[in-house]
Amino acid sequence: MQKSKTLGRPTWLALIAVVAGATGMIAGAATRGDSDAQLGALQVESPEEQRAFDVANGLSEAFRRVSEHVLPAVVAIENSPAVAANKRDPRRSQPEGNPFEGTPFEDMFRDRGFGGRSFEGPRGRMPAPQPRSGLGSGIVIDPAGVILTNNHVVAGDGTVTVRTQDGREFVASEVLTDPKTDIAVVKIDGAEGLVAARMGDSEQVAIGDWVLALGQPFGLESTVTAGIISAKGRGIGITDRENFLQTDAAINPGNSGGPLVNLKGEIIGINTAISSRSGGNNGIGFAVPANLAQWVSDQLVATGSVQRAYLGVGIQPVTPELAKQLNVAPRSGVVVTEVFDDTPAAETGLQPSDVITKFAGTPVSTPQQLQLAVERAALDQDHPIEIVREGKTQELRYRGSKLPEDFGSTSPQRQRPPEPEAAELNRFGFEVSELEPAVARRLGMEKTEGVLVSSIERGSRAAAAGLRAGMVITRVDRQPVADVEAFEEALEAHEGQESEGLMLLVRTERGSRFVVIEPQS
């Protein structure tokens, strides 16, 4: 594909000038009057007006050139799963009610749809996809017939058909998927004359940058919409590995798998999801960053699967409350809540309450950033990890190790423990008891040492902090507590630090996390 020139973009002041100038000229034309019934061409009456229109026309030209540059590489993808359900009646050209009934986009018109990856709010989670026939988008990244798209577009173990911009159709010869990132690679054979789009560097994308979304929304081929990057590093709870770009460029059902491109015509994201109750565009769309999509697709093409490295830790964000306890700035790293036995993290020397600030030289401030950085680490090579431990900066060495297939795949089924013999309610508003072996087994915590939270006073500081009955407290202010006696001693040691709050490391069936009980006001 011919290389495009770098295209400029207007400033917001210029855009304001466009609106102001155009409004003034239209108003002037209306007041001057004209004996002719038909309006003539709009006349530019000053250098300022001309500059405003030049800026607007320059942006329009940029959008046009980028669209012409990238559209030849955009394809439509039809997925016909082996077991199709709710097929549309071919005699009905326009079904009544939901026009997407019987397709993966049907549920987009309900509160919590799947189809084009719609979800309701940042905490919503989608139900499992149903095996139905439907349309999505893709982008050619290799003229030999390699196409990048979403996993949910091609899921279902059925027939995947690719339609190119010139109308040719090809049945996929191979479909390679990575559900953890919702990325897939589709290969087609015998497709001569394909052109490939260029992958850009999503790390260089900034909030406010102009972007175009291309694809087949609602089955309408070769559709282009424009917007900006609204946010970066979004985690919305729909895939295991998330670091989405957020955009207000219109993304609708059928855009999934299509490219999000910058004004150089480079792919900087793969359109994946929208936040919507109706299923249509609400100005909040999400795309997998190009760097992550490139890393995944390279491995899928080379080996057919994705090889990930791992540490073997539990982690959580550094909240303002935790930052005070750990002597770090809020969002300055990721705090370790648990180090699993016989893992690279244990060999590296990581400990609970360590704050990881950099991995392999890259600053990390969210769990998603750390997880993705670790997973992309080269195997069998050493990587530095910068941590803050008890207020002091240290550097550890991590050896890249392959993630075992069964790591973290088994989580014990939590059962309600028997009523324990509780201690008295403490000044924070909760009771603890010994973690008896029978209770530990029922909670799936046979190897855990700590005390069981047996009761919480409603409206107490402990309740406000998120402490709940059934949690197991393993540390108080960084100190391990193996039984009630050790717990009480730790509380007594804390009496002289009441103004700083009480930091507890608690464990549930979901893992470990820190809870901070704020000082009494």
Pairing assessment for the beta strands 210-215 and 223-234 based on DSSP bridges:
antiparallel
Can you name the residues that pair with 428 across neighbouring β-strands?
Answer: none
In this structure, what are the phi and psi dihedrals at residue 210, rounded to the nearest 5 degrees?
-70, 140
Residues 6 or more apart whose Cβ sits within 8 Å of residue 318: 326, 328, 329, 330, 331, 332, 333, 334, 335, 355, 365
For residue 260, give the nearest of 305, 301, 218, 230 by alpha carbon. 230
**What token pair was written down for 446?**
């046979």
Please tell me the distance from the alpha carbon of residue 451 to that of residue 385, in angstroms, as a whole number.
32
Rounded to an integer, what distance in angstroms lies between the CA atom of residue 272 and that of residue 243? 12
- Gyration radius (Cα) of the chain, Å: 28
Residue 444 CA, distance from chain mean position = 30
Distance, CA of 449 to CA of 512 (rounded, Å):
13
Note whether 301 and 373 are within 8 A (CB): no
CB–CB of 316/513 below 8 Å?
yes
Q: Could you list the active site residues?
A: 152, 182, 256
Task: Report the distance separating Cα 349 and Cα 143, nearest Å.
Answer: 47
Identity of residue 516: V
Report the alpha-carbon distance of residue 178 to residue 120 in Å, rounded.
Answer: 24
Strand pairing of 198-199 and 266-275?
parallel
CB 456 within 8 A of CB 462: yes
Among 502, 503, 504, 499, smallest CA distance to 521 is for: 499
At 237, list the tokens.
């709870």
> What values do phi and psi take at 138, rounded to 5?
-160, 170
Nearest-angstrom CA–CA distance, 264 and 268: 10
CA 244 centroid distance within chain:
4
